[in-house]
Structures are given as structure tokens and as C-alpha cells.
Structure 1
Amino acid sequence: MTPSSALNRRSFLARGAAITAVPAVTALAGGAFAQPASADTLPDYAPIPASALGPALNPQGYYVGRVQKNLYWVTDGTYQAAFLTTRDGVVLFDAPPTIGRNLQRAINEVASSARVSNKVTHIVYSHHHADHVGASSLFGRNVVRVGHVETKRLLARGPDLGPAVPLPDVTFETRHTLRVGGERVELAWHGANHTPDNIFIHFPDHDTLMLVDILLPGWAPYDGFNVNEDVPGSITAADTANTYRWKHFIGGHMGRLGTRQDMAVYQRYVSDLIESIKQAVVAVDPTPFFAKYGNNSWAAVKTYQDAQTAYAAAPIIQKYTGVLAAVDVYTASTAFLLLESIRLDQGFGSQIHP
């Protein structure tokens, strides 16, 4: 296998980690995708803007770069982690399994160049999801792991997939200042957002904020508004992020760092989509859907909401194509989750029977 083909295969495997269950599910469903897919049958999407792409990966399938001073970030093009070198060792922030052992390789690369220790002494968990902390066990037991109290509780429920993720040794409820080797990192919980335990990781001496699974710089949100468990909290999280002082943003996903301009574009996208959804609630008449499906309520509701989300998504896709990558891929699913939130959390469109 040539280096380029090996890299392509590694990149494919990294990107495929999140969708490995799809063939089995679709085959069981007996749907159109039960047959092998081909380039001729798969849908076409808008080109990815160059502004959404990060630096090229090395032959091992990762990129490591300096954020500021002794703070570094690592990406495989889909996931991100960060690490801080100190006089007492290395503090790692998240350990995505798709990057896996390349985390230590990246640390070794920096440590060798900077002539500092490559030993990971601490790992900070942004939240409990295995796609961000599932490689924590690679660093052994003699590491201090830090996370929110809810992170420990959620991880303690037991592994659903693969080996267990080691529980945090140090936990906090609202705020915690982590001091290692003369460095300071401020950890804070501002309420549920993407998950009940997702935290803000602020590097005040490095002009950097790490907040995972909220803003994916250069990209539209992932399926279902990043699968956010608390939609109002996730929207508020972006506002909270702007109260911090930072120049560099680590979002946990995709191939580049973020900026305040990225945050502004993301917030406009969400705001525009919410406004478009509210217009759809008024504009789309439910009558034909319920007339056709009669007592099959789920069929009526599904097709009605599909029509609402399609109505809401169309102008947003048109507006942000070329601005945010893959806006045509997931905007409809994000619109659905936002529709449900403004309907259930805000009561928008609800009518009390006379």
C-alpha cells in the first residue's frame, strides 16, 4: 500500500466511524439503500467551500499545530483535541478514538521539538460522549482525569460500546481552576447544552476557548442540530461563549480552528432558521395531510412536519450555500429539532381548544 493510499484509507475509516451502523439498519428496513450504493445512485451536494477546510493531514492521518504559545491542537479532519505542555507534563483535553494513538504521536512530535516532557499527566473531559473521550484509556491509570460531576455519573452507568472510559478523578459542579506546571485553565459549567455535562474550557493565557459540539467552524451543524439534548441551552451556549475573552476557538470537530467571525455566522444561521421555521408554522396548512391519512396520526404528523421543515430549510440553504459547508446536507434535520423546541419549549403555535 502506498503512503497516499494508506492515508486515504485511514481518512475514510476515521470519517466512517460515525456511520458504521447504517448498512445494517437500512438492510433491515428493506429500503432503497438495502442494495449496494454506487456513485450513480447517491445524491449530489454542493461543493465544500475552501474556507471550511483545515490544513492537510500528515501520512499518519493527523495534523498537530500551535494554537498559541504552549497550547496545541490535533485533528484528523473530523475530530479535534487539544493539549497544553507544562513544566510538569502534558494536559490533554479530550481523547477522540478516531485520533486514537495519534494523540500521543502528536504530543511526542511537539515535545521533541520544544524539548519538554511528553508524559500526559492530566486529561480533561469536555463531556461524557465516547466519540470525544473514548481513547482516554490509552493513557493508563496514572493520569488525573478531570470532568463535571454529571460526566462521572453518566460514564458510571457503564459502557454501551467498547471498553469503559475511565471515570474522572477530580470533579466539579460549576467552576474549577486547573493548575498544572505553572499553567492555568478555567473550567465552567453554565447549564445543559449539547449534553447535561458539556463544559466550557477557557485558556485565559492563550486567548482560546474550547466548547465542544456547539460551533463546528466553517460547517453547518451536524444531524439534528448536532444531536443537542437541550436545544435552548445549546443556543444560549453560543451567547455565553461570547462573554469570554478569546481569539481562537476549538469546537471538537472538523479540520480547522474557529474565530469570533465563525461564531457570528453560526448564530446568524440559527437565528435565520428559527425565523424561517416560525414562518413555516403559519404558512403550511395541515389540512391535506390529516385529510389523506385519517386515523393514521403518525403519517399525518410526519408528512406535515416534513413539509414544514422543507419550507423552513429551503431559503436558509440558498442563503448559506458557499458560506457554511454541507448546509444542504443537514439543515432540514436541524430545522426539525428547532421546530420541536420552539413548539414544546416555547409553546409557539400552540392553541388552546375553546
Structure 2
Amino acid sequence: MTSSSPPADSTPQLPDYAPVPEAALGPALNEHGYHVGRVERNLFSVTDGTYQSAFLLTSDGVVLFDAPPSIGHNLRRAVDEMAAAEGASNTVTHLVYSHHHADHGGASSLFGSDVIRIGHEETKRLLRRDNDPARPLPDVTFQDRYTLEVGGELVELAYHGPNHSPDNIYIHFPHHDTIMLVDIVNAGWVPVFNLNLSEDVPGYIEAPSIAQSYPWTHYIGGHLGRVGTRDTVALHQQYIADIQASVKQMLGTVDPTPYFVKYGANVWAAVQIYLDTITDRAAEPIMAKYTGVLAAADVKAFVHSTTFMILHSTRLDFGPSGPLHP
């Protein structure tokens, strides 16, 4: 009979993080896993704690804004719940795409083929490319601006250039004191990887300022549970501005020479260590300043990848890219 050693402990060693600030917490979810709340009058937001959608109850039917698959059939439940409570129609007649990404529009097909879908012309092009039956093509497209009127309600759609994606639009509810701008500001939280996986860094950085130029009180950002405020957006802007300032400072103080001397012909090794050093040093004071202020400010991968993206945008889009050779 042979003895065997006890199995090694397979429990992963998971890191600890700072508590989520109270101001970043969203509402409690119901037994179905969603929360629906009134934003203003007949405008409602729906969340599963990670994603957000919104809808308008009108005398001519329901207008839905995005259809995240993680909320899925709970969108129908939320509409039914509020329509019953308000004595309104629960028929979804229109669906507006904020942009083409599947994580925000992948439940669109649940609402059938009779719904009028609206999106930017670039959204239609990208959805045609993606060929996803879960995201039917928009029936109505626009280039710069489009005013949607349903049942006496007004919604202003506008395109101000690429930001998170090439087609991400601004959805303004002028009679509901609200703006919806998806994947830019996470109310009370830092951006996730790479500035919320954004494709155009200068556009992403500028987007909150464009949003602030509109009149509104309530901000629907497409993620997490909270409906934000103007202060929410201003805090995000300060966070990004601090990263930009920290990156510029490190670009001006970290000498690349030792890295290229050390690695000689292996230029890419030198580039990696040099840029990683700048990123580490630029991110460190940001994490210290915002931990306890913005949720997940101490999640290193998020802060570092966002800092890395801003570092390269600073070099490539804003300049200078580095010291000028004499």
C-alpha cells in the first residue's frame, strides 16, 4: 500500500481591493435580476447592475434605447411593469441603437421585425458588415442629426464624430432633462480596459465636454447601475485630465537612453521596458489619488491600460512623440 500526498490547495490566491464607494453603488435588483427606475416623467432606465438601457412610454407606444443581451428578456419585463403601472401601451414601436456593438444591441431581435430601428449611417454599415441576426439593420439612419417624435415626445439624436466607436451617438431628451451617451463615463467608476475599449482616444477624451454642452441633469452611460449627474461626468473628466498630466510629466522626465543601451539591437525590448516604466510611474499617483473616490481605481489592469492608451495618444495624436534628435 502506498501513501499519497494530500492534494495541493487549489484555492486561487485572489487579491483584495478597496471597498466600492457608497456613491458608486447602484440600486438593488429584483428577483428577476433587474431594476427599472423613473429618470424623469415617462423616461425610465433599466439595469442588471452591469449594463443599462432606457425607454420612453408614449401615447403611441414604447421607444427603447439599446437592448443589451445581458438584460435580455428583462427588458420586456421592465417595459411591461412600467406600462401597467402607468396605464400605458407596452408595444415597443421604435428602438434606437447608440452604436453597433453587440453588448449593447444584441437583444434587439427579441422585439421582432415590426419595430422601427434607428441608428447612425455608420451603425448600419457596421451592422451590415457584422451580419448578426440578433442586431437587425436600422430602418432609419442619419448623418449628423435626427429628431425622433413619437406620441408627442421628442428625442434629439446627434453624431459628433468617433469616440468609443466610429458610430457612437448622443441621445438627448430635452423634455426629460437627460442625456444618454454610452461607453464613455461609467458613473462613479473608472473606465475598464483601454478607456472602455475605445477606438478613438482623442474623441473619447472630448466626448464628455460635448455632453456637458447640452442642458441636462441625468446621465445614462450604458453601464453599471447608477444614473449619473453632471458632477459624475466632471469627476470623470478630472480623472482623465490627471492621467494626461501625469503621462506628460513622465514623458518629459524618463530618459529612454538607458533602455536602448541595455538592450542594444533588441529595439522592441527597449521600447517595451521604457513605455512600461512611463506607464507605471504615471499610473501610480492616479491610483493613490482616486482609490476610495472612484470605484476600481485600485484595479491595476484598468488604470494601467487606460494610462497606456493615453500615453500613446499623447505621443501620436497630440505630440511630441519624444525628444527631438539634435
Residues 188 and 47 of structure 1: CA distance in aligned 2, closer, same or farther (over 3 Å): same
Amino acid at match of 2:95: I
In structure 2, distance between residues paired with 1:74 and 1:189:
24
Deviation at 1:291, TM superposition (A): 2.8
Give the drift of 1:40: 4.4
Q: Which residue, 257, 260, 265 being the options, matches 1:295?
A: 265
Question: Aligned runs of 1:204-353 on 2, under 5 Å?
Answer: 204-329=174-299, 330-353=302-325
CA contact under 8 A between 2:180 and 2:220: conserved in structure 1?
Answer: yes
Q: Could you tell me whether the CA contact under 8 Å between 1:86 and 1:182 is conserved in 2?
A: yes
Match of 1:124 in 2: 96
In structure 1, how many angstroms separate the alpha carbons of the residues matched to 2:178 and 2:193? 26
Amino acid at match of 2:127: L
Amino acid at match of 1:265: L
Q: What is the CA distance between 1:294 and its match in structure 2?
A: 2.5
Kept in 1, the 8 Å contact 2:63–2:96? The answer is yes
CA distance change for structure 1 residues 47 and 38 in 2, over 3 Å: closer, same or farther?
A: farther
What TM-score does the superposition give when structure 1 sets the normalisation length?
Answer: 0.87
Deviation at 1:44, TM superposition (A): 2.3
**In the comparison of the two structures, how many residue pairs are matched?**
317
TM superposition shift of 1:303: 1.6
Q: Which amino acid aligns with 1:42?
A: L
Alpha-carbon distance between aligned partners in 2 of 1:88 and 1:38, rounded to the nearest angstrom = 58
Contact persistence 1:125–1:147 (CA under 8 A): yes
* Conserved? CA contact 1:158–1:164, under 8 Å: no
- C-alpha separation between the residues in 1 aligned to 2:175 and 2:317? 38
Equivalent residue runs for 1:1-354 within 5 Å: 40-159=12-131, 163-329=133-299, 330-354=302-326
One-letter identity of the residue aligned with 1:333: S
What SS class does the counterpart of residue 186 from structure 1 fall into? strand
Deviations 1:158-184 (A, max 9, x none): 24xx64410000000000000011110
Q: 2:5: which partner in 1?
A: none
Question: 3-state DSSP class of the match of 1:156?
Answer: helix
C-alpha distance in 1 between matches for 2:100 and 2:205: 20
Q: Distance in 2 between matches of 1:345 and 1:188?
A: 25
Deviations 1:220-250 (A, max 9, x none): 0111111111111111111111110000000
| Matching residue's letter, 2:204 | S
- More deviation, 45-54/96-105: 45-54
Please give the alpha-carbon distance, in whole angstroms, between the structure 2 residues aligned to 1:126 and 1:51. 26
Percent identity between the two aligned chains: 62
Distance 2:187 2:52 in 1: 12
**Could you tell me how far apart the structure 2 residues matched to 1:39 and 1:346 are?**
46
Counterparts of 2:18 and 2:284 in 1: how far apart (Å)?
Answer: 14
Counterpart-to-counterpart distance in 1, 2:311 and 2:11: 33
CA shift, 1:287, in A, is 2.7
Letter aligned with residue 87 of structure 2: R
Q: In structure 1, the residue corresponding to 2:298 is in which secondary structure?
A: helix
What TM-score comes out, normalization by structure 2 length? Answer: 0.94
Q: Secondary structure at the match of 1:122?
A: strand
How far off is 1:298 after superposition? 2.1
Q: 1 CA distance for matches of 2:120 and 2:10?
A: 44
Offset at residue 352 of structure 1 (A):
4.1
For the residue of structure 2 that corresponds to 1:179, the secondary structure is strand
CA distance in 1, matches of 2:65, 2:51: 12
Partner Cα separation in structure 2 for residue 77 and residue 317 of structure 1: 24
Separation of aligned partners in 2, 1:253 and 1:63: 13
CA distance in structure 2 between the partners assigned to 1:331 and 1:67 by the alignment: 31
CA–CA distance in structure 2, aligned partners of residues 37 and 45 of structure 1: 23
Larger Rg: 2
Q: Distance in 2 between matches of 1:294 and 1:286?
A: 12
Partners of 1:215 and 1:279 in 2: how far apart? 25
In the other structure, the counterpart of 1:3 is none
Partners in 2 of 1:98 and 1:136 — Cα distance? 12
SS in structure 2 at match of 1:147: strand
